[in-house]
Structure 1
Amino acid sequence: MIFLRTLIFMLILAPTPLFATTTDSNLVARVGGIPVTSFELNRQINKIIPLRVSFHGGVSAERIKEIRQEALKDLIERAYKVKYAIDNEISGSSAKVDAQMKKIKGNFKTDAEYEKAVAVETETALRASLYRQILATAAEDLAVTSKVLVSDEEVAKYYAANKHIFFMPKQFRASHILIKVDPSSNDAERAALKKKAEEILARAKKGEDFFNLAYYNSDDRTKYVGGDLGMFHAGQTEKPFEEALLKLKVGGISDLVWTRYGYHIIKLTQVNEPRQLSFDEVKLKIKSTLENKRRKKVYAEWISSLKQKYKVELLVQ
């Protein structure tokens, strides 16, 4: 049985359609015999560009060069994982390859468009590339993911040692009406806007519906939700705004409050006093944090060991 599995993986590395459909002219690197093709490199570059370049900005030649190096590094790292998978007899699912090929083909309107798109690389080479990605993922699952386990006891211990971190500061919920004042406005214009704000304030204090007052009079985009600012905590608003809030009781309406934006009329709608978050509230977040930290460590050690074990051959600089 062991001999049979070994034979299967030897055949994968032999000149079969799965790994050996590309010529040397289409290779940019090899890692222990695992190919990295120019087609894969171009695909990886195209994946990275939207993440590294502003939508409205151009892409300089220097930036493209940096992205190309990043893409090549990613693919070499993937090849390390594929080599690890083969050496450790980790197999991939051909059904997953079929599903991905079907998905790719579905992006084209006609079979002719699809065939034209894959003609240079060839469909077989594309399948091989997809299979290498599946192998790399399977290898990482075994070598890293399976070892990133955080027990409930570790989570509880972390919470006990770092309880002070999990503290919810005082929170407010408020609505406001903003009468915006342009910094370049003159005294007469400011006086007129202040008078408008005072008239709205008088209506609010007489009990007129605050939602409607905000909707029809506020210059802030929150007007469409009746001026509702949602929940926020101390320190998140302008100092005069917060000082006015602290003087209010729930349901209370402030006098006019001046900030750099203009005149505000504030209604306090909710207050949550500061409190310690319970273990049940934060245990999932703690577990995720610990798992991510451990994963980075295990992953770095694994990749480092692969770099020492497998030779990289760069065919194109």
Structure 2
Amino acid sequence: MASPKNSWVLKGFFSTLFVLICLLAFLLTACQKNDQQGTASKEETAPTASVPQTATPAEGAEKALGPGDPVIEVDGVKMTKGQLDTEVNRKLESIRKRVPAEKLPQVKTNIQKRLIDDFVVKTLLNNEVNRLKITATEQEVNEAVEKLKSSLPANVSLENLLKKNQMTREKMREEIRLGIQINKLMVSRTKNLPKPTEKEITSFYKKNQDRFKLPEAVHVRHILIARAPDDGEKVIAEKKAKAEGLRKKILAGADFAELAKSNSDCPSKSAGGDLGIVSRGQMVKPFEDAIFSLKKNQIGPVVQTEYGFHVVQVLDVRQPKTVALDERTKGMISSFLLQQKQQEAFRKMVASLKEKANIIAYMP
């Protein structure tokens, strides 16, 4: 079952370390749960990236390329067909089960184009930070590694993450180092951007009221006794009885969090079963119906879903409301608007670098 996350009122917040995050995003996708039903693949739904318009098609670009042949060249730096195919296959493998077979060819094409464009942008930025002699210290790299570690789920280690993504620790540090250098480049280009005015903040708030509406939600925790697809009737009955027994213990005064830690089959067990704030549409229907029928602090009946049996408790109930334009909200809006300006500055910088670069495309 998908674990809900506390949502920002403003969607699409843009971190000042966005470049580093983008470079490491492929690593973090390994942490995402793949069992969410109805979730479309990003590679399927995201806008297709394209080779920059400044790229010059090479002579004979229509011919079939071998593994050692370049597919794109940026100021003399080349990506080979073999390198591209390796990355494409790795990404396809991670999403294959979530994409209908008939859509895989288009998804593959989208991934290819996105990887090529990413290579172009990364190479241009790498060349620019080197030209400007922007560096990253070992301490900065170490701190970024620790930050990455702290962002991982409790059940995912950095070593397992690297292994799953077929990346060495040295390669990871190299990517992080470049991310830090690019971030320094962006800081230097955006440090003089004007801060959003009070008028801009108020105007954004009035024009984007939907962004500030908080839906009905509940703060919930649960204990999951998971069932397997091949469980027989006897095993299912035993698991249901276990869940009922845990519920009785809680009603008799036992500590919910402690029982969750020692009995739950959900990763949330490490947090005492706490799933955080949940809105409608985030959970499977039987679970959603159960938790939204409960009052604050109420222990509900055992809920059966496709995942197993759940002992649930609602810790708080939040009624629908619109967030007021107070100082905290103004600060969030100000940050969001400033980050939009930073994104635009980044796009303009990359566009300028592309115009000056010699980019040759070898794929049709």
1:287 is matched with 334
TM-score scaled by structure 1? 0.54
Q: CA RMSD in A?
A: 4.4
Give CA-to-partner distance per residue, 1:264-286, whole Å, 9 cap, x none.
11111111222211223322232
Which letter maps to 2:234?
A
CA offsets, 1:64-96, max 9 Å, x none? 5747644443356669x97xxxxxxxxxxxxx9
Q: Report the Cα distance in structure 1 between the residues aligned to 2:357 and 2:25, rounded to whole angstroms.
A: 26
Question: Contact conserved, 1:178 with 1:219, CA < 8 A, in 2?
Answer: yes
Identical residues among aligned pairs (%): 28
Q: CA deviation at 1:216?
A: 3.1
User: Is the counterpart of residue 277 in structure 1 residue 348 in structure 2?
Assistant: no
CA contact (8 A) 1:148 1:295 kept: no
Richer in helix (by share)? 1
Change beyond 3 A, Cα 1:52–1:62: farther
1:186 equivalent in alignment to 2:232: yes
Using the TM superposition, give the Cα deviation of residue 306 of structure 1 relative to its aligned residue in structure 2, in angstroms.
8.4
1:221 to 2:261 alignment: no
Distance 1:224 1:291 in 2: 37
Structure 1 residue 62 corresponds to structure 2 residue 62: no
Work out which structure has the larger RCO, using CA pairs closer than 8 Å and 6 or more positions apart in sequence. 2
Distance in 2, Cα, partners of 1:231 & 1:139: 34
Shift of the alpha carbon at 1:247?
1.7
Larger Rg: 1
For 2:217, give the aligned amino acid: Q
Are the structure 2 counterparts of residues 217 and 156 from structure 1 closer, same or farther at C-alpha, using a change threshold of 3 Å?
same
1:74 aligns with 2:93: no
Structure 2 alignment gaps of length 5 or more? 1-19, 29-67, 69-78, 85-115, 142-180
Change (3 A) 1:175 1:295: closer
Residue type at the aligned position of 1:285: M
- The separation in 1 between residues aligned to 2:337 and 2:22, in whole angstroms, is 31
Report how many aligned residue pairs link the two structures: 220
Whichever residue aligns with residue 204 of structure 1, its letter is I
Question: Residues 300 and 214 of structure 1: is their aligned pair in 2 closer, same or farther, counting only changes over 3 Å?
Answer: closer
1:143-292 matches, within 5 Å, as 145-280=191-326, 281-292=328-339
Is residue 77–residue 303 contact of structure 1 (8 Å, CA) maintained in 2?
A: no
CA contact (8 A) 2:218 2:316 kept: yes
Tell me, yes or no, if the aligned pair for 1:145 and 1:295 is still in contact at 8 Å: no
SS at match of 1:289: helix
CA contact (8 A) 1:166 1:282 kept: no
Once the 2 structures are TM-superposed, how far is the Cα of residue 209 of structure 1 from its aligned partner? 2.9
CA distance in 2, matches of 1:238, 1:260: 9
Distance 1:301 1:197, change over 3 A: closer
**1:174, distance to aligned residue in structure 2 (A):** 1.7
Contact 2:124 2:353 in 1 (8 A): no
Judged with a 3 Å threshold, the aligned counterparts in structure 2 of structure 1 residues 71 and 48 are, in CA distance, closer, same or farther, namely farther
TM-score where L is the length of structure 2: 0.48
